[in-house]
């Protein structure tokens, strides 16, 4: 199953908006999971991401897909690219 990681924080409307926009991209037969990580729970994550949140990753060993706002084109390209690799 496809998995995304969203670096987020509580009381962040941009974070909530990005999560909702990402979840809206789910299609029948192509589910994905989203791990939401609270950056404020780890000083190293605050140092790394602080003012960039929300930050969305597909695979953590690849560059971020987007931050602040969902880049639908980047997310769809990621999904298509990784669907082709597993087909």
Q: Which residue has the tokens 């974070």?
A: 15
3-state class (DSSP) for residue 32: strand
Overall domain count for the chain: 1
CATH classification at residue 80:
3.40.30.10
pLDDT digits (tens, 9 = 90+) for 31-62: 889 999 999 999 999 999 999 999 999 999 99
3 pLDDT higher than 60: yes
Length of the chain: 87
Nearest to 5 by CA among 76, 82, 62: 62
**Domain span including residue 20:** 2-86
3-state class (DSSP) for residue 4: strand
């Amino acid at each position: 199953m496809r998995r995304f990681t969203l670096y987020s924080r509580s009381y962040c409307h941009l974070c909530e908006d990005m999560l909702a926009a990402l979840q809206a991209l789910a299609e029948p037969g192509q589910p994905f999971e989203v791990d939401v990580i609270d950056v404020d729970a780890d000083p190293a994550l605050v140092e790394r991401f602080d003012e960039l949140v929300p930050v969305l990753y597909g695979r953590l060993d690849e560059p971020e897909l987007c931050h602040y706002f969902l880049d639908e084109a980047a997310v769809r390209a990621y999904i298509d690219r990784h669907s082709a690799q597993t087909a």
